[in-house]
Amino acid sequence: MSSFYFLVDCNNFYVSCERVFNAKLIGKPVVVLSNNDGCVVARSNEAKQWIPMGVPVYKVRGIIAQHQVKVCSSNYTLYGELSRRVMSILKKHAESMEIYSIDEAFLEYSDTSKTSSDWENLAIMIRDAIRQSLGIPVSIGVGRTKTLAKLANNQAKKEKYGSGFCLLDSPERIEVLLKKMDVQEVWGVGRRWAKNLKAYGIDSAWQLQQAPEKLIRQKFNIFLLRTKLELQDVRCLHLEHFTPPRKSIAVTRSFGRKIQNILELEQAVASYLTRLGEKLRLHHLKVKKFILFIQTSRFSKEEYYSKSIICTLQDYTNNTSQLILAGLNGLGQIYLSEFSYNKAGVVAIDLRAEDVHQGQLFSGVIESKAESDLMMAVDLLNRKYGKSSIHYAITGLRQDWAALSTQKSPNYLSSWEELLAVS
DNA sequence: TCTGGGGTCCTAGGACCC
DNA sequence: TCTGGGGTCCTAGGACCC
Q: pLDDT tens, A2-22?
A: 799 999 999 999 999 999 999
Q: Binning pLDDT at 50, 70 and 90, where does residue A416 land?
A: low
Q: What percent of chain A has pLDDT over 70?
A: 93
Across A256-260, average pLDDT: 91
E strand or H helix at A193: helix A191-199
Could you tell me which residues come within 8 angstroms of residue A312 by beta carbon, excluding any fewer than 6 positions away? A288, A289, A326
Which of these, A233, A240, A242, A243, lies nearest to A4 by C-alpha position? A233
| pLDDT, tens digit (0-9, with 9 covering 90-100), for A209-248 | 999 988 888 788 888 999 999 999 999 999 998 888 899 9
Across A83-107, average pLDDT: 96
Q: How far is the CA of A221 from the C1' of B13 (A)?
A: 20
Q: How far is the CA of A68 from the C1' of C3 (A)?
A: 71
Task: Tell me the residue ranges of DSSP E strands in A51-95.
Answer: 70-73
* Closest nt by CA–C1' to A347: B6
At A219, phi and psi to the nearest 5?
A: -90, -20
| pLDDT, tens digit (0-9, with 9 covering 90-100), for A373-392 | 888 888 888 777 777 777 88
Query: CB–CB of A70/A28 below 8 Å?
Result: yes
Q: How far is the CA of A1 from the C1' of B5 (A)?
A: 41
Distances in whole angstroms, Cα of residue A225 to Cα of each of A229, A263, A297, A387 = 6, 50, 37, 47
* Closest nt by CA–C1' to A56: B3
Q: How far is the CA of A339 from the C1' of B10 (A)?
A: 32
Report the alpha-carbon distance of residue A171 to residue A394 in Å, rounded.
63
- The answer on pLDDT for A422 being more than 90 is no
Report the alpha-carbon distance of residue A206 to residue A203 in Å, rounded.
8
> pTM for the whole thing?
0.89
| pLDDT, tens digit (0-9, with 9 covering 90-100), for A280-335 | 999 999 999 999 999 999 888 888 888 889 999 988 999 999 999 999 999 998 99
**Which of these ranges, A76-80, A135-139, A293-297, A390-394, has the smallest mean pLDDT?**
A390-394
Helix axes A262-282, A369-385, angle to 10 degrees: 100
Report the alpha-carbon distance of residue A91 to residue A99 in Å, rounded.
10
Could you tell me which residues come within 8 angstroms of residue A400 by beta carbon, excluding any fewer than 6 positions away? A256, A257
Q: How far is the CA of A286 from the C1' of B18 (A)?
A: 35
pLDDT for the residue A207:
96
Show residues, CB within 7 A, near nucleic chain B: A 34-36, 38-39, 41, 54, 56, 58, 221, 223, 244, 246-254, 257-258, 279, 297, 299-300, 342-343, 345, 347, 403
Which of these, A110, A89, A87, lies nearest to A99 by C-alpha position? A87
* Closest nt by CA–C1' to A61: B2
Give me chain A's average pLDDT, please. Answer: 89
